[in-house]
Amino acid sequence: MDRALRSIGTMSGALAVGAFTVNSCLYNVDGGERVVLFDTLRGGILKDVRGEGTHFMIPVIQRPIILDVRTKPREIPSVTGTKDLQMVNIKLRVLWRPVENELPQLVRELGTDFDERVLPSIGNEVLKSVVAQYNAEELLSKRAEVSSRIKEEMMKRARHFHLTLDDVAITHLTFGREFMRAIESKQVASQEAERQQWVVKKAEQERQAVVTRAEGEAEAAGIITAAMEKTGNAIIEVRRIDAAKEIAAKLANGRNIVYLPSQQNGSGSNMLLGIDTK
């Protein structure tokens, strides 16, 4: 019985040691991760990159370095100056990921915190160099062009550090208080200038209307003068008759107007009397 118990204990100890040894020789790589091995006997970081799954390693001699290769966002703030010496607060959003095939070289040169070392430095460098080529107004009117140039320069610089940038965009852009006050003053002056132009155009149109009206009256007077030269006072008599008809029509519609005819022999004159109804 004692021998059986000792055998069981020995087997259990052997199984425990074996399980611990196997567990120490295996490691798992989750989705979106890659592993580079550090080997103390073969000169540090090995050149091969291992993907997702379970892999074997030599305990003590080899050590896995797990790296996340999924796309991650990073915001880079910067305060820089424009071409016309205006200070700008600008923020850049970068979607980045490491180049998988170059992970061993990346870890060997920059370590595992390569994003903290690389992205802020190249971001500030590119922002300062690109923004300095535009004045403050151009940063607003040519924002798409500025963003495109920053993206191009950032991608070019990131390739030297074994990083891939999927997207680069300006998310925040503000100027100093003095520049904002200058913009407001300029807008007010521009609106006032537009108003003055409108006033000038209105006065010009009114002047043209007066000239046109005067020309029309002068032409009408010329026509009347020409007609009088041909027909004498006949044109005046016609106008007088027309005026009399118009006056008579207006008076006929009045309720308090009384018409008194002349005497029968026609020696008298006709009369119109206004009767007060009060």
Summarised one tens digit per residue, pLDDT across range 5-39 is 566 666 666 565 555 565 678 888 898 899 999 99
Based on the number of CB atoms within 10 Å of its own CB, is 96 exposed (0-12), middle (13-18) or buried (19 or more)? buried
H/E stretch holding 64 reads strand 62-68
Alpha helix (H) residue ranges in the chain: 2-25, 103-110, 114-131, 136-141, 143-159, 177-231, 234-252
Below-70 pLDDT ranges, the chain: 1-23, 180, 182-183, 224, 227-229, 231-236, 251-252, 254-278
The DSSP annotation for 20-75 comes to HHHHHHEEEE-TTEEEEEEETTTTEE-S--B-SEEEE--TTTEEEEEEE-S-EEEE
Q: The pTM is what?
A: 0.58
> Does residue 227 sit in helix, strand or coil?
helix
**Quick one: pLDDT at residue 1?**
61
CA 30 to chain centre: 40
> Does residue 78 sit in helix, strand or coil?
strand
